[in-house]
Chains A and B, each alone.
Chain A
Amino acid sequence: MARTKKQRSIQRAPNYSGFKPFGVQKPVECEVKLSLEEYESMKLCDYDMLNHEDAANMMKVSRPTFTRIYQSARQKLAKALVEVSVICIEGGHATIDIIWYMCAHCRISFDISGNKTPLCPLCGSGNITENK
């Protein structure tokens, strides 16, 4: 029986959709697809410097599942570097844990805790958008 993919939790989706190599002569044909959970696993381990156990807890997955996601992320990135690939970041099975709101007037992003009505903490405006 096919296993259903569980939702993994990530904190913030990257605000770009990928990378392109530069300095190459021919157009780049091959493409590596990095999922949001793979992106998050690298961010937690190699940018936030968490150990695998803490990172697994953050993403609400088991330790072996985390290791699998992280290994896959590393292999894909290595492949992209060596084989000169475009890297695309795609949705996967992640849910974003935190909603970040934006105030266009103040040009800031911010979070809201609890069920409070979202208002800009600086100018008090309710004219804000969800930033996904």
Chain B
Amino acid sequence: MIIAAALSENNLNSPVDVHFSRCNWFGIYNSITKNLDFIVNPGISMDEDAGLKSAEILVSHSVNVAVAGRFSAKVVELFRKANVQMVIPETNTSFLEFINLIKK
């Protein structure tokens, strides 16, 4: 499973960002290889359709699960078409805490 979480900072202790389209970073974690990567949100500098650009990039990274506090309507539409599952954790859950929830 490849997970992409919207984050405010590029480290494991960063809380999951409340809004998918407006986060600074995405943390990408592969639960099989345990590989971890941080990428700058490619949509952050765009005004319109910011989330769409970000969602497309994550789909191109073969992400299966997207994690954020909220997803905009267009992002929901795109992810559902691309079969990317959306997950909303409790407020202030850190990326590390989230990863630790995955069944070993």
Contacts and interface: CB of A to CB of B under 8 A. Distances in A.
Nearest to B99: A122
Contact of A113 (B47, B83, B93): B83
A109 B88 contact: yes
Interface stretch (B6-14, B32-40, B55-63, B68-76): B68-76
Contact of A108 (B51, B74, B76, B88): B88
Interface in A19-57: 43-44, 47-50, 54-55
Interface residues of A, number: 25
B96 interface: no
A123 B74 contact: no
Contacts of B1: 121
A57 B93 CA distance: 33
Given A49-B48, A122-B102, A122-B103, A110 B88 contact: yes
A100 B47 contact: no
Interface in A116-132: 121-124
B66 to A, nearest CB: 10
A111 B85 contact: yes
A44 B73 contact: yes
A58 interface: yes
B48 A110 contact: no
A98 B70 CA distance: 13
Given A100-B88, A109-B87, A113-B85, A123 B103 contact: yes
Contacts of B87: 108-110, 121-122
25 contacts: A11-B76, A44-B73, A48-B51, A48-B72, A48-B74, A49-B47, A55-B73, A58-B77, A98-B76, A98-B80, A106-B89, A107-B90, A108-B101, A109-B87, A110-B86, A110-B87, A110-B88, A111-B86, A113-B83, A121-B65, A121-B85, A122-B101, A122-B102, A123-B102, A124-B103
